[in-house]
Copies of this chain bind each other. A is one copy, B any other.
Amino acid sequence: MDPNQNEDVFSAFVDEYQKTFFEMLFRFESKAEPIKDAWTREDGRGHGLTCVIQDGNFFEKAGVNVSRIIIPLSQGIYQQMKGRRVPGSNLDQIDMNNLAKYDTYANGVSLVIHPINPFCPTVHANFRTIRIKERETGKLIDSWFGGGSDLTPIYLFDEDAKLYHQNIRDAIVDVTGDDKFYRQYKKECDEYFVNHHRKEARGIGGVFYDDFNLESFEKGLQFQKGVAYANLNSYEAILNKRKDTPYNDQNVRWRSFRRGRYAEFNLIHDRGTKFGLMTPDARIESILMSLPLTARWEYNYHPEEGTEEARIVGVLLKPVEWV
């Protein structure tokens, strides 16, 4: 296998997914003009395309970004990666006394969509590959996939939650033959997207994998594609079901309140955001594109028992096996 060829193949998937997802959004959005910002790192070691909808008639804010960066392997990045690698990882081969001779290659697509209608959920997804290479020789030391997708409803519709998880599960079974990976990564998702300081999940889950390989690059890519398009198709189906649901001021207030929680997770806990903020000369606006347009923090607010607002909080305190 030619590693560089694999990079191009993954990159093509990422670009295609960005395009398809962003186009899908415009089947709902009819006011906002698409914002497309192509950027290049000043040191030449990376580029990306940030696609944004803001202040639309359907979306408060939506971003679908791709980026491709090659930065020197640092002690910090190495330790972070090493901490998560499964036993037997090639990272052990790295000459710790000479980290500077390696590069970290990261390529991926990342999206966060915040609709206006409080009955339409927020969705997040990220599909990436990370590679460690010897700079001079181009020799690939290690590579893996990471990513996943998850749903954050403001109001909970059980049938949407089931549909979302079922489609991801089915896509994974298609690629791997059983639902073992779905079970494992659903669990990791429930454990990761948590506002630990509140013991409250951000949303109702999906799948999350931070360090993942199957027997071949091709199989891994198939897995990434399976989850990615299950996410896209489910989300479009859910938006179609919920887009005309009428809402009132109280629903909007609850939406803004939940988006405060979303911002908390992204700013305090999210590893991707931290990685971004730690990357020298990173493009801040692309990283913090994930933040909602509006957020609200009310002191010590707890919804009344028996309300729909209280019901979703209950589910966020205790994850559910949806399928």
Contact = CB atoms under 8 A, between A and B. Distances in A.
Interface in A264-293: 264, 267-268, 277, 282, 284-285, 288-289, 291-293
Nearest to A35: B299
A55 B299 CA distance: 10
A52 B299 contact: yes
Contacts of A289: 299
Copies of this chain in its oligomeric complex: 2
Contacts of A282: 197
A197 B297 contact: no
A137 B299 CA distance: 40
A256 interface: yes
Contact of A291 (B52, B197, B260, B294): B260
A296 B298 contact: no
B256 A263 contact: no
B293 A294 contact: no
A300 interface: yes
A63 to B, nearest CB: 7
Contacts of A61: 297, 299
Contacts of A263: 263, 267, 295, 297
Given A295-B295, A299-B35, A299-B61, A284 B52 contact: no
A292 B198 CA distance: 18
Contacts of A37: 300
B54 A198 contact: no
A32 to B, nearest CB: 11
A296 to B, nearest CB: 5
Contact of A298 (B54, B198, B260, B299): B54
A54 B298 CA distance: 8
Contacts of A35: 299-300
A107 B197 CA distance: 22
A299 B260 contact: no
A256 B256 CA distance: 13
A299 B52 CA distance: 8
Contacts of A54: 298-299
B277 A268 contact: yes
A256 B60 CA distance: 15
A89 B267 CA distance: 34
Interface string A56-69: 00000101000000
17 contacts: A35-B299, A35-B300, A52-B300, A54-B298, A54-B299, A197-B277, A198-B284, A260-B291, A264-B288, A285-B299, A292-B297, A293-B297, A293-B298, A294-B295, A294-B296, A295-B295, A295-B296
Please name the 4 residue pairs, one residue from A and one from B, whose CB atoms are nearest each other, closest first: A267-B267, A291-B297, A285-B300, A295-B295
